[in-house]
Amino acid sequence: MNGLANEQILISRPAIPLTMFELIRRDGLARIGKLDTPHGQLETPALLPVVNPRLVTVPPREMHDTFGFRALITNSYIIRNDAKLNARAIEVGLHEMLDFPGVIMTDSGTFQSHMYGEVEVKNEDIVSFQRDIGTDIGTVLDIFTEPDWSKERTAGAVDVTMERTIEATNLKGNMLLAGVVQGSIYEDLREDCARRLALLNVDVHPIGGVVPLMEQYRFAELVDVIVASKKGLDPSRPVHLFGAGHPMVFALATLLGCDMFDSASYAKFARDDRFMFPEGTASLEDMKGIHCHCPACRSHTYEEIKAMGPADRASLIARHNLWVSMEEVQRIRRAVLEGDLWELVERRCRAHPALLSALRRLGKHKEYLERFEPLSRDNSLLYTGPETLDRPALLRYEKRFFERYKYPDTEVMVAFEESGKPYAKRYQKEMGDVMETCDAHFFVASPIGPVPIELDEMYPIAQSLFPDPPDLETKERIKEQMEHLSHEHPYALGVAWDGQATIDTLEMMCQKEPSFNIDLARVRAVSDYQFGKDAADLLLDGEIEIRKSENTGKVRNVLVNGEHILSMRANDGFFTLRPPGAARLKNGFHAPRLRVTVKDDSVPFNREGKNVFCTFVSDCDPEVRPMDEVMVVDKDDNLVALGRALLTRDEMFSFRTGIAVKVREGIKL
Amino acid sequence: MNGLANEQILISRPAIPLTMFELIRRDGLARIGKLDTPHGQLETPALLPVVNPRLVTVPPREMHDTFGFRALITNSYIIRNDAKLNARAIEVGLHEMLDFPGVIMTDSGTFQSHMYGEVEVKNEDIVSFQRDIGTDIGTVLDIFTEPDWSKERTAGAVDVTMERTIEATNLKGNMLLAGVVQGSIYEDLREDCARRLALLNVDVHPIGGVVPLMEQYRFAELVDVIVASKKGLDPSRPVHLFGAGHPMVFALATLLGCDMFDSASYAKFARDDRFMFPEGTASLEDMKGIHCHCPACRSHTYEEIKAMGPADRASLIARHNLWVSMEEVQRIRRAVLEGDLWELVERRCRAHPALLSALRRLGKHKEYLERFEPLSRDNSLLYTGPETLDRPALLRYEKRFFERYKYPDTEVMVAFEESGKPYAKRYQKEMGDVMETCDAHFFVASPIGPVPIELDEMYPIAQSLFPDPPDLETKERIKEQMEHLSHEHPYALGVAWDGQATIDTLEMMCQKEPSFNIDLARVRAVSDYQFGKDAADLLLDGEIEIRKSENTGKVRNVLVNGEHILSMRANDGFFTLRPPGAARLKNGFHAPRLRVTVKDDSVPFNREGKNVFCTFVSDCDPEVRPMDEVMVVDKDDNLVALGRALLTRDEMFSFRTGIAVKVREGIKL
């Protein structure tokens, strides 16, 4: 642990203004961002094709102008060791040498040390060389930690990587510096390495040493490695998955918060006559036909491609591989925007059982993933298999239901069957044991969890689709939840429907019992679910008036003692807070609950309805999730504005640019 | 049942020479074929875009020359009712009118009757009109059986459809006739309708009345309807899934034996700004970006497309939809050739939970699907979810294992653990109860079934990949099979490994017991599995010599009493028969087992090593599956040739062209 002392010295220095990475859009850990570089802004997620400076398969200019790649990666070690390239790179700079107007990242020779055991260059020299040839993002000469290394050896190597990274921060100049997370398959070492790197003046974080895992299809371990690294890293810096070049893994890696990828595979695979697709690789020999209309393939028949010389064929297939990879990155970008990245990942992970194993591994990390899970999404939640049950959206519902849901105050709705027909009755709690009616039901058993009718319009309940019949895993989950429920809520004993009843049936039945106020029950249940236990009591103390939409019959506005406290959103069934409602919650819940505290110089702007920017946040409820309704307050806890948080607390503190809270309504003095 | 009498009269007539549909390649029910039409051969699977003669979105000429569509479908009812179109169609013919040089199919107005309740045309008139305007494939004015109709009403409508079809066969002239299978959601009515149609002089069989099922996402019922129809139809005629226009369903429908599709959706969806993808539909509004590099989308940004006028935009999106649909058909074609259609279907069915329900519904039909399941495939079997367990390949293994597998003759290999280490011992059967060693194991528990080491190189065992850890459904299946095994084979009581042991471990252990002849056990077990119970006894009676590959150490050739009886294939672990081996099976197994009987005029050619063509088959073992090793015999059961069957018995009798048995070796007199 030699490096630690040095690290601490460096950390105590005043922070140097760092590069800006701005979040444009996010879905969980996945994000669309913009990274400032000396050669302009790079949009992420981004794939950087690897250009071998000695063997150019697709010219960088073509990558930029025709394919639309805005960044590439090349190897500074190869350039430095080649007398001619070295001289030229120093003379005209990397961009002119490669004829590429976009962002250029360079690797340092680390991968060569993995391949050949050793490299003959010092960290100091290769970092300075990268800076001197004008690379935009240069990389530390980190130690490639192999998956078969012992923990001790790995820890030692991580320390060396740390020392070298510190050294590099003092040499980088205007170049962005890539500080690589190492630590092999040891999750604690990865997280620790990431945490130490987060304190350094580094701009981009590649996750390194993962190529062997990908080559050996150890994708489940790759999931562990990415998650461990993400846990330690500074969320405001882009994460690059080093050597991830197969479109098969882009969606999964993006879901876990990787922002950049690089691909040498497009050219390597092409030399072996292998076509890449998001659903896997196909060799020309096996394919027996071309089914691709990418610009490279379209004008050729299968027979023509087979008859080409090896160089022409490799050149065509490399372009195919680039087109397909580019299209997949764009598809993923669209999924982040549309809110169906989980569905895309679950489909992509059917490309190979090893990817399906990786998908299952996400279940191990669902508590962590839930911290970034948005309150709701525009898109429906579509079930694709047992792995869907581990989605953070379902974990969220299950937890909040069991922690926050309360029975309607004065009565219990019981639905039951008699001679095969469903009925509903209402009982006073004071009646005690009403369970003589042994077929009594109150909840609909669903794969999401036990659903009381009051919550049936709320995300993800109304926005989920499951296949019929359910699989064993789903049946088992329903059974467990209902057992748990009957333990937690003895009134609901014997709750599980036999699958015949639907939420519609129940609602219809309740309408036959007009004294049960389903609307009030809904307002109460959603309030507690969204804002926390007892929120409904705080919000609804007084004379309640519920206004409904004339078109849809759904709850729209809630007034208490004549004050408009809540509005219900039609799309996700959650509330937006109105100032009187916020005042009630603020009085009942102590800071920092449901709050984002802003610095004094931000207050006047937010009172005008302007958004809260990250730099002005001084505190935030650690329980806030993306898209949560929050109160913006000043340092004395005065209400300044209402809006929706786009970031978690850690993210608000970490980002130096971008919006923390999208303000809907400023509270003027 | 008015129609029946007429049908029987017609059936008794001498068969008119019918149109030729030739099988080029098949995988289960899925097939690549060629249909002869007046405008050339149509390759299947084929998608026929719908051209509305009054509202052309994409000109037919462009569909042909640019997109490569070789067939389209248009509506004869609309043409007939439009005075101008009618006159022109009669005058210059349909092909010149539409400017389309490929195959033109016409619908008859049935869909209009579904949409508007009634059409004002008689079957006789519309069929004659189609013939007169030169359509290649004309359609009967069948009755669209709606999914909400009673069974009685549906049966009556089917009878009317049958009468009209019979009428049409007498009017069709040189036009191919499409006789539509109706029967709504009633499987027995569908199958019966199909069976009656199979006897008529009809060339193509659309499955009709399914649009409401697809519109309502009732894909599981669609599966039932297709399977029921396929059961009744003549396998030598192409099957058209009427109105299946979404690329989302093409793979599933192909897997179930549909050869043709038609799409009006490409244009309809386009008018609503909806982009089709094999993974579902995306509306322009939701998409927020274009990620497609099809020729239609590539040169436009999202913003440009949004800014277009409605007509231009619809025209662009329609072209996108056609490109994507065309690419999917080509992808499916490749999957049939490569042998990974099941994997593709299982991925595609993750596009929507309703499709996943349909995928699960395949389990209901697995016995039927198994009849067409090839002995082996080039591609590995990849697990994608619990639905994979219902694959016919796994059903095949399970059945044959339990029906055909026998313990090695004189001894029982038992592998067991002692102090956590695996050991293997061999016991004489005569020793009786050897189960004192209570941890005894012999089989590896796998999702495929209990695998004895002798079968571990055989398809699908060596060629399967499953994720780790297994899901509940897989665990349950393994448990059931192992329980079944311990009942069937009391020697194998307590068989299930705890998951630690692998086939390699077991094999290694067996090598430590040199007196257990794993090679002989393998030859015996594969023989019984492939050729039937007791085949090994017939084949191996005498002095056995097993020759192994020097490179791989695997069994290559088997000699008995100095005669070469079997060769083992490296790729799938099955045998090819040599003449002395065939002679032994022929003597032991009575006709028609393992045989294809050919007519006299074929015999001399097959003895020369030429393939057996369908028309020359006079009998075939009904148990023969595609790719099975078969003996070709003459009417007196003399061995004529050896080869692999490409078709089932029914198919051999039905097809009037194409290869029934691919002969490897003729037996000269």
Where residue B134 falls (left for φ over 0; alpha for ψ -120 to 50; beta otherwise) is left
Residue type, A589: F
Of A287, A293, A476, the CB nearest to B334: A287
User: Per residue in B561-597, pLDDT tens?
Assistant: 999 999 999 999 999 999 999 999 999 999 999 999 9
For chain B, give percent helix, strand, coil, nearest 5: 45, 20, 35
Q: Is B386 on the interface with A (CB under 8 A)?
A: yes
- Confidence band, pLDDT 50/70/90 cuts, at residue B487: low
What is the rounded distance in angstroms from the CA atom of residue A659 to the CA atom of residue B94? 62
Give first-to-last CA distance, chain A, whole Å.
Answer: 55
Q: Which residues of B touch A473 (CB under 8 A)?
A: 386, 471-473
Contact assessment for residue A123 and residue A164, using Cβ atoms and an 8 Å cutoff:
yes
Which amino acid is residue A273, in one-letter code? D
The per-residue pLDDT for A486 is: 65
Whether residue A576 lies within 8 A of chain B, CB to CB, comes out as no
Contact criterion met (CB below 8 Å) for A208 and A242: yes
Instruction: For B330, name the nearest residue in chain A, comparing CA atoms only.
Output: A291
For the stretch B449-469, pLDDT in tens is 878 878 889 999 988 999 988
Helices B310-338 & B341-348, crossing angle to 10 degrees? 140
Q: For B593-620, what is the mean pLDDT?
A: 97
| Residue located via tokens 């590896």 | B444
Confidence tier at B436 by pLDDT (50, 70, 90): very low
Mean pLDDT of chain B: 88
pLDDT digits (tens, 9 = 90+) for A295-314: 899 889 999 999 999 999 99
Over residues B54-74, the mean pLDDT reads 95
Using an 8 Å CB-CB cutoff, list chain A residues near B472. Answer: 386, 471-473, 476
Q: Cis check for the bond before B38: say yes or no (omega within 30 of 0).
A: no
B112 min Cα distance to partner chain A (Å): 32
With an 8 Å Cβ cutoff, are B347 and A352 in contact?
Answer: no
Q: Please say if A107 is a catalytic residue.
A: yes
Q: Which residues of A238-252 are buried (b: 16+ CB within 10 A; e: fewer)?
A: bbbbbbbbbbbbbbb
Mean pLDDT of B15-20: 58
Other CB atoms within a 10 A radius of the CB of residue A4 amount to 12
How many Cβ atoms are within 10 Å of B120's Cβ, its own excluded?
9
**Counting runs of H as helices and runs of E as strands, what totals does chain A give?**
27, 29
Residue B652 has pLDDT above 90, yes or no: yes
Q: What is the pLDDT of residue A487?
A: 66
Q: Which of B107, B136, B203, B456 is catalytic?
A: B107
Q: Which two tokens stand for residue B576?
A: 């090819």
From residue A14, give the alpha-carbon distance in Å to each of A95, A172, A174, A193, A269: 33, 17, 17, 22, 47
Low-confidence ranges of chain A (pLDDT < 50): 1-6, 8-17, 409-412, 416-441, 491-514
Measured CA to CA, the distance from residue B177 to residue B19 in angstroms comes to 10
Query: Environment class of residue A421 by beta-carbon count within 10 Å: exposed (0-12), middle (13-18) or buried (19+)?
Result: exposed
Query: Is it the case that residue B372 has pLDDT exceeding 90?
Result: yes
Given the residues A36, A99, A107, A601, select the one marked as catalytic: A107
A480 touches chain B (CB under 8 A): no
DSSP character for B53? T
Look-up: residue for tokens 């990418």? Answer: A294
pTM comes to: 0.91
Q: What is the Cα–Cα distance from B301 to B315, expressed in whole angstroms?
A: 16
Above 60 in pLDDT, residue B96? yes
A61: helix, strand or coil: helix
**Alpha-helix residue ranges (DSSP H) falling in B339-471:** 341-348, 353-361, 366-370, 392-404
Going through B191-328 in order, the beta strands assigned E by DSSP cover 205-207, 239-241, 260-263, 274-277, 280-283
CB atoms within 10 A of CB A581: 28
Q: Is A14 exposed, middle or buried (0-12, 13-18, 19+ CB in 10 A)?
A: exposed
DSSP-derived 3-state class of residue B548: strand
pLDDT of residue A521: 86
- Inter-residue contact B310 to B318 (CB < 8 Å): no
- Radius of gyration from C-alpha coordinates of chain A: 28
* CB proximity A503 to B under 8 Å: no
What is the amino acid identity at position A648?
T
pLDDT at B52 over 50: yes
Q: Do B291 and A330 touch (CB under 8 A)?
A: yes
Rounded CA separation B538/B557 (Å) = 17
Q: Hey, of B43, B65, B291, which one would you mutate to test binding to chain A, going by the most A CBs within 10 A of its CB?
A: B291
Helix (H, G, I), strand (E, B) or coil at A534: coil
pLDDT, one tens digit per residue, over B618-636 is 999 999 999 999 999 999 9
Q: What is the pLDDT of residues B273-290, one digit of tens each?
A: 999 999 999 999 888 777
CA distance A104 to A93: 11
List the single residue in A331, A384, A466 with the smallest CB-CB distance to B350. A384
| Interchain proximity B347–A351, CB inside 8 Å | yes
Prediction ipTM score: 0.89
Adjacent-strand bridge partners of A133: none
Judge whether A559 and A580 are in contact, CB under 8 Å: no
Q: Tell me: pLDDT of B412 over 70.
A: no
Quote the DSSP letter at residue A181.
B
Q: How far is CA B532 from the centre of its chain?
A: 24
Neighboring chain B residues of A347 at a CB cutoff of 8 Å: 279, 347, 350-351
Q: Which residues of A touch B357 (CB under 8 A)?
A: 467-469
A524: distance to nearest CA of chain B, Å?
32
Output the CA angle B439-B443-B446, nearest 5 degrees. Answer: 115
Q: Does B282 touch chain A (CB under 8 A)?
A: yes
Interface test with B, best of A324, A362, A382, A473 (most B CBs within 10 A): A382
Q: Is B284 on the interface with A (CB under 8 A)?
A: no
Q: What is the C-alpha R_g of chain B?
A: 28
Closest CB to A289: pick one of B288, B294, B337.
B337
